[in-house]
């Protein structure tokens, strides 16, 4: 098995794809007016309109109703990323802070209220954990 993507369902796909493009620097690839993807070397963030979920079963997902998942991006320098995105980040939940497990993290919300964590491993143990892949 290979984990390849996370999909966010939204009522405003253009707004959300534009937001994620701005904060990640990844260009959305549009497959239809209702579906776009932002691909990084390790995973893909898919964004679909509510209409795409209706194909699977009406009501299977509710836009802007996430209260448990956090979308995480490892970045080279979380403090520099914050300076670049703070004008578009909107609702910042936590300014860059070094966490007890060794990551420096910035927690903010996308326009639909989904939590996003930009993090940089800073402790020796956290850095070792991510040595196998690149940012």
Over the stretch 80-131, which tens digit does the pLDDT of each residue have?
999 999 999 879 999 999 999 999 999 999 999 999 999 999 999 999 998 8
Domains of the chain: 1-61 (3.30.720.120), 66-135 (3.10.180.10)
- What are the strands, taking DSSP E only, across 56-121? 70-74, 92-98, 103-109, 115-121
pLDDT digits (tens, 9 = 90+) for 31-79: 999 999 999 999 999 999 998 887 777 777 888 998 899 999 999 999 9
């Amino acid at each position: 098995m290979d984990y390849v993507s996370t999909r966010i369902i939204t009522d405003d796909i253009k707004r959300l794809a534009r937001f994620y493009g701005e904060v990640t620097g990844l260009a959305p690839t549009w497959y239809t007016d209702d579906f776009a993807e932002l691909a990084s070397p390790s995973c893909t963030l898919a964004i679909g309109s509510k209409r795409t979920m209706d194909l699977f079963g009406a009501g299977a997902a509710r836009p802007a109703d996430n209260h448990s998942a956090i979308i995480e991006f490892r970045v080279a320098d979380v403090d520099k990323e914050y300076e670049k995105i703070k004008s578009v980040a909107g609702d910042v939940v936590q300014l860059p802070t070094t966490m007890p497990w060794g990551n420096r993290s910035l927690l903010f919300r996308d326009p639909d209220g989904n939590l996003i964590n930009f993090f940089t491993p800073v402790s020796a143990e956290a850095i070792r954990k991510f040595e196998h892949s690149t940012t």
